[in-house]
Structure 1
Amino acid sequence: MRILAVLALVGLAVAGPVEKRLGVPLEAEDGCNPAIGNATYVADAGNCQVFYICDHGWPKITFCPGNTVWSQVNKHEGQCEDAGDAINDVCGHIRPPPEVIDSLAGTFDPAYSRCQFQCLNAPECISAVAKCDGVTHCSDGSDEVNCAGPCNPSTCRLPNCRCSGTDIPGDLLANEIPQIVTLTWESAVRLEDYNHLLQQILKRIGPNRRREARTNPNGCPITATFFIEHQFTDYAAVQDLYFGGNEIAALSISKSLTSDYWKEASTELWAREIADQRIITNFLGKVRNEDFVGMRAPYLQGGGNRQFDMLQSNGFLYDNSMPTPQMDPPLWPYTLDYRSTQECVILPCPTASYPGLWEVPLVDWLDTNDTLCAEVDNCFFPLSKAESLTLLRSNFARHYNGNRAPFPLHLRARWFYEAHYNIEAMEEFLDELLSMNDVYIVSIDKALQWIMNPTRLNDITRSNQFSCDNSNREPLCAQPITCSYYNITYAPNSIDHQGDRYIETCANTCPQRYPWVANPEGRL
């Protein structure tokens, strides 16, 4: 099974010392050198989850998500795969033998050939994909306990329930509905990004040579969803973005670097990382709790039922953490009242029933190197503005010319800082979209409101769909205060290499301590 997105740093052990120059293994440098290896990808000899993407002849270190392994087909082809499927002779990876004992099936089905779920009171051990698949594989039946049942469209009806699938909500035709573009930003809202990148994305140069909001066909400004992490976030910038109609959602407080931290986190730990980020953002960014309703798991490493237990018990509306290769036609968002038909790419995924809780799939893109990717900066890096535009236009066209499922435009700052032409391409692309009278660029919460109550394109301007009434939000104060915290030891700092943190906020007072996990209000 292919793993679609190359995400971010995971905690991994390195097999042994590797000779390096300028921090890069010599084998990777030579492999990417056009005059020597001329490769597209180079595997890391010391770590099976690390590989290098050759960018202009220089290796860029990249990490496979979760517990997946880099599988190198040849010097121009490869992907992150489950350990049982991966081939990587460079790092010495050996496929584990099947550990399954499926006494009820009678035969060994390749789909259940890995031991990932130990039956509770029976000797069988089955693959995770066999858990809650509607078929009993454990002799004690424990693999089908606390499972969501199959969805019946006749009883699962909008606005509060929707089966997973590619059908258009409201039984409307594609040419009757708007093409929704869900624009998202992941990571801390840093002041430099707010002043530079975000102003160029959300605004354009007007006739008077000043920046003005990019607007949807109904005259309202385009809006985005900001999945924020706590560290290095400027909460005054967050408040200004929120007042402008944008959505603020959670990425976590700590964004801990080990994938196992998230994969194995308890419901209580998920609450401390996600629900408590809402407390911090309400206090420091003046974002109302009832508007803080979404989350994305760090590195897209979800926590299965424990994560979704937390979301439901804390009143969240949706999750946006699950990549999907279902891209032609793409999946629409759906609720988790019933069993999902979406492939579980990064284990674990939710298997219980969560009435009214929405999953907004991260529909994969196909990059210019014919590789699947879930976020723009995980795609094969464009070598020019023309290649950037090809990447953006081709993936949008698949949605627009198909079932018009929301087109995901998931951005991070590094895609723009690594090449100046990417911001130029993005601005041109957004202006192209907004020249069309049937495209709306909105935050995820606004997209879900449309899905819950589908409105024909011709009726949107006469309705409150995608409206821009933000009168209940507090504008940025005239003089934000700066809160200073010294000798911080949280990563990327440590006890031996301490650092400082500064928070700009319109709050009346500063938290006494730097807000953190288990202490979101920063009390002494």
Structure 2
Amino acid sequence: MKLFVVAVCACLALVAAAVPQKRFGVPLSAEDDCNPNIRARNFSADPNDCQVFYICDNGWPKISFCPGVTVWTPAAERCLNRHEAENAVCQFVYVPEAVEIGVGLAPVDETCDFQCEDNSGCIARRAQCDGISHCRDGSDERDCAPPCDLDRCRLPDCKCSDTLIPGGLLASQVPQLVMIGWDEAVRVEDYNHLYQQIFKKLSSARRREPRRNADGCPMTGTFFVSHQFTDYAAVNALYAEGNEIATHSVSKQLPAEYWRDSERRVWHEEFVTMRLLLNQLGNVKAEDIVGMRAPYLQTAGDDTIIMAQRNNFLYDSSYATDRNDYPIWPYTFDYRSTAGCAVEPCPLQSLPGVWEIPLVDWIDTNNTLCENVDSCYFPETKQEAMELLFSNFARHYQTNKAPFAINLRARWFLDDGMHNLEALQDFLEGVERMDDVYVVTFAQALQWVRDPTPLNDMDGFFNCDYRDRTPMCEHPTLCGYYNITYQPNDVDHQGDRFFMTCNECPPQYPWVMPIDTLRALGL
């Protein structure tokens, strides 16, 4: 006999309404919200898409997107889980609904994601591989990664998902590794103005010189690059200066569910093609492109990590953790993760060889959790921005010194009166004076995790001789392509694409290569 229970799910109330007017693809309501002479708001909700919102930049709305399946909530000025969200502008309503989920199964407030093989019921994804058989035939616990075995999981190739310091070192012996990560396209204007002001400082001779760590190496960051609107000459320059270049897909296709539901083939085409473009247009060595991050932090669970495993990606950095008093260190997918699963699905199988550098939740000044800095409560002053940076840094530095990631996008520095930029500069100046803090790339942080080295022996641990990297040429070539229909354009609203490269321009605008083409190239 089946049991009927009441499960809570998010439903979108469909209300007949006139289609909002748009100009240049932007709702007129967003223009009015951002207009300082009308509503003078910092954000505006999209009337048609509950995952789209606009950041007001000098009176003009710039489009932005919520990660995963979260929903923009105007009252909180942030993206929230669907059961917490409320958005009257796009008419999002959270409504209880009766759902049949079977007998003796997972929590009743979850949706049906996994069908038991014997049809004895249907359970929530998070109840699968949780160590408890909810299906009568136990099919929900098959092919699952086992709990971590500390005796068998050993460095350099395996680590449990926990808060334990690698190598059995004391916190006082550990360098605090700070990682600055950047998402999305690398634009030439951001390279010339934003990145240079962050990673460099003015010398006494009024020249820009790199900020440096205690070992004399320059502070560097990791750029998770997507293809659309990227300038490959800027990528070339960043790489030549010691920064890490990682992949963020070619298309960054919308909606986020596209990535959740895509087959492994799609992930292969998107990320292997992106690695090829970074190599051929940006002069980044293919063997140095070892990291990846999923668009909108939305993965396909096992299929995403299997793709990474089969294509020699060393690490992924897409999974947010639950809040932990002690932050979680990077871990491998050999065993069952205990880091939480903020955006489902998460890997369930044992997948050796791939590391996860988790997005450890920040706590913003509004006492809520966030992963990317620009998804935190937006600081209204430099003091608030400083508090956001230093309070989250302290949570790592004063506990187990797990690597501290500052995940940035250029929009955090837009329309803020420069106070966010000044706060980050002051933060870096502060840690530059600390002998036990190193600002490094994600790959360098993982190098230390795999080979834990006491603070006193850090000199020479990181190689910062980048003379083997191809410098940016003096006169890059401008490549132009017209009538492009890829998102955010379409057949009815075609656009142009331009980028510079030190190499020859491709005859057609580069895009995702079919898997047969990649395999023919040996990729």
Whole-angstrom CA distance in 1 between matches of 2:392 and 2:263:
37
Partner of 2:502: 506
Q: Tell me the residue number matched to 1:517.
A: 512
Aligned residue type for 1:245: G
Cα distance in structure 2, aligned partners of 1:243 and 1:27: 40
After superposition, residues 55-204 of structure 1 pair within 5 angstroms as 63-69=65-71, 75=75, 80-83=80-83, 91=91, 93-97=93-97, 99=99, 101-104=101-104, 109-110=107-108, 113-204=110-201
8 Å CA contact 1:117, 1:131 repeated in 2: yes
How far is the alpha carbon of 1:98 from its aligned partner? 5.5
Conservation of the 8 A alpha-carbon contact between 2:116 and 2:137? yes
Residue 237 of structure 1, aligned match among 234, 238, 251: 234
Distance 1:46 1:258 in 2: 13
Q: CA deviation at 1:341?
A: 0.5
Q: Spell out, residue by residue over 1:263-287, the C-alpha distance to the aligned partner (whole angstroms, 9 max, x if none).
A: 1111110011111100111111111
Corresponding pairs, count = 502
- Alpha-carbon distance in 2 for matches of 1:468, 1:348: 37
- Contact 1:148-1:351 within 8 A present in 2 as well: yes
| Residues 145, 349 of structure 2: 8 Å contact kept | yes
Question: 2:443 maps to what in 1?
Answer: 445
CA contact (8 A) 1:227 1:248 kept: yes
Aligned equivalents of 2:499 and 2:354: distance in 1? 33
The match for 2:397 is 400
Alignment of 1:488-503 (within 5 A): 488-503=484-499
- Among 217, 220, 223, the residue aligned to 2:217: 220
Deviates more, 1:133-142 or 1:219-228: 133-142
Residue segments in structure 1 that go unaligned for 5+ positions in a row: 1-11
Aligned-pair distance for 1:171?
A: 1.1
Counterpart AA for 1:442: V
Gaps of 5+ in 2: 1-12
Q: Which residue pairs with 2:413 in the alignment?
A: 416
CA distance in 2, matches of 1:77, 1:493: 27
Which AA in structure 1 matches 2:373?
Answer: V
C-alpha distance in structure 1 between counterparts of 2:487 and 2:436, whole Å: 45
Structure 1 residue 466 displacement after superposition: 2.1
RMSD: 3.4
Residue 466 of structure 2 aligns to a residue in which SS? coil
Confirm whether residue 385 of structure 1 aligns to residue 382 of structure 2. yes
C-alpha offsets along residues 182-226 of structure 1, whole Å, 9 cap, x if unaligned?
111111111111111010111000111000001010000011100
Q: Letter of the aligned partner of 1:515 in structure 2?
A: P
Q: How does 1:290-301 map to 2 (within 5 A)?
A: 290-301=287-298
Counterpart residue type for residue 383 of structure 1: E
Q: Which residue number corresponds to residue 316 of structure 2?
A: 319
Structure 1 residue 415 displacement after superposition: 1.1
Aligned equivalents of 2:494, 2:59: Cα separation in 1: 36
Contact 2:86 2:92 (8 Å CA) reproduced: no
Q: Does 1:264 align with 2:261?
A: yes
1:372 counterpart = 2:369: yes
2:352: which partner in 1? 355
Provide the identity percentage. 50
Greater shift in the superposed pair: 483-492 or 371-380: 483-492
Q: Describe the SS at the equivalent of 2:329.
A: coil
Q: Return the match for 2:339 from 324, 334, 342.
A: 342
Structure 2 equivalent of residue 206 of structure 1:
203
Q: 1:469 aligns with which of 465, 479, 487?
A: 465
Check the 8 A contact 1:222/1:440 in 2, yes or no. Answer: yes
Q: Distance in 2 between matches of 1:229 and 1:62?
A: 15
Q: Distance in 1 between matches of 2:234 and 2:57?
A: 33
